[in-house]
Amino acid sequence: MKPWYFDLQLLLRSKVAVGSLLLLLVLTIASLLSGVQRIDSQHEAIARIGALHAEDTAAVVAAHGDSVDAGTAAYYSFQPTWNPPSPLAFAAVGMRDVAPIMLRVRALGLEAQIHDGDTFNPELALAGRFDFSFLLTFLLPLFAIALLHDLRSSETESGRERMLRSLPLRTRWLYLRRTTIRGLALWLCVGAPFVVVAVDQGVPVGQILAVLALAAAYLLFWVVLCLLIPRRAWNSGVNAAVLASCWVVLALIAPALANVGIERAIPVEQGATIARAQREAVNGAWDIPRDRTMQQFYASHPQWRDSAPLGDAFHYKWYLAFHQNGDEQVAPLVAAYREGIERRNAAAAAVGWVLPSVGLQVALTRMAGTDMQAHLAYQDRIRGYHERLRQFFYGYLFTDKPFVKSDYDRIPPFEPGE
């Protein structure tokens, strides 16, 4: 064990190495605190939903509670939905930083309500917020390069290489031992703070170990690269320049080019296109004969076919019917949008097998439940809830059942786990 101890002492005597490790430790803590702060703010926002919804409902009841028309309640009542973060979300904020995590919906046409929030490009962001995932992907390789680029070349340049070769030991094992010590030091600087914060956030042990394993595997890739490049017997400056160039290519340029290639190979309409098409369908329904609108609605909702026919007066069941018809009219656009996004996600995951930086972020956001797949799952939960909400109001509208003030309390609430 003495050789290991001596090499550790050699590392600790290097001001550059110690300074680099301390800086990495500070940046790791800062990235973790940044992620925790972001997720805590989302927890706080979600916690306020109940009180704010109660105030909103009270205002609607005060203004429209005397009406016995369920359509009035359906039109003016907004119901909150939300996407709670997983315990690991602080480590990889992912889509939660650019996609809506809360959405108030009505029993009217849903697709326009969902896609109005799509003010972002629906692909994975290249870099994202400064969180633990960002630190691992972009900064950790730089510290590996700083500690390992001159591991052997510095010995050659100082003239100690010949002396080491004259000793009765294998220099290969010497450098491997020093590399291992530096690699473990880097891994501990990012892993130890993560474990402390993860335990505090209630992350399951299995996920903690999985993140540590991912960090170790990603670090190992860069450590191996830092060992291979200096085999060309360049000086330390050239080694550092070549390794930095590798970092630029592998962590920045190649992922950006892959993203552009995926976008061009798999074109996807923006969500705003779906929202616009749904609104055009709804607006155009005012000029369509009401009987034709109702027949179209009854074709997909035969359980309400026995409802009383419409008179000459405005009736909310016709209004909600053509909103639902609008959703059904844009259903092919929604399906194509969803298929395109999923194909892009699959392509990004495939790129991750070639580019470690992409693979690391894809894996971390998947474990943290902050990737596009998780966002699409939240949209599916909204659609399921919207179906229950519509059926609740249909039970009043299509049977002409009066909707009284106490019925506001019977409106089905959103359940995040449904």
Residue 132 has pLDDT above 70, yes or no: yes
pLDDT in tens, 304-352: 999 999 888 899 999 999 999 999 999 999 999 999 999 999 999 999 9
The pLDDT of residue 125: 44
The pLDDT of residue 355: 95
The pLDDT of residue 118: 58
Residue 198 has pLDDT above 80, yes or no: yes
Residue 169 has pLDDT above 90, yes or no: no
Residue 94 has pLDDT above 60, yes or no: yes
The pLDDT of residue 9: 76
d(CA 374, CA 371): 5
pLDDT band for 3, please (50, 70, 90 cuts): low
Contacts of 276-279 spanning 24+ positions with Cβ under 8 A: 277/329, 277/330, 277/333, 278/109, 278/111, 278/112, 278/115, 278/326, 278/327, 278/329, 278/330, 279/109, 279/112, 279/326
* Contacts for 170 with CB less than 8 Å, ≥ 6 apart: none
d(CA 167, CA 319): 90
pLDDT in tens, 100-121: 999 999 999 999 999 876 554 4
First to last CA, the chain: 56
Q: In 3-state terms, what secondary structure has residue 103?
A: strand
Average pLDDT, the chain: 89
Residue 153 has pLDDT above 70, yes or no: no
Confirm if 144 and 24 have CB atoms less than 8 A apart: no
Lowest mean pLDDT: which of 6-10, 66-70, 185-189? 6-10
Helix (H) or strand (E) holding 81: strand 79-82
pLDDT in tens, 238-259: 888 999 999 999 999 999 999 9
The pLDDT of residue 15: 86
Confirm if 275 and 115 have CB atoms less than 8 A apart: yes
pLDDT in tens, 42-54: 999 999 999 999 9
Residue 214 token pair? 């991912």
Q: pTM for the complete prediction?
A: 0.90
pLDDT in tens, 338-397: 999 999 999 999 999 999 999 999 999 999 999 999 999 999 999 999 999 999 999 999
The pLDDT of residue 168: 52
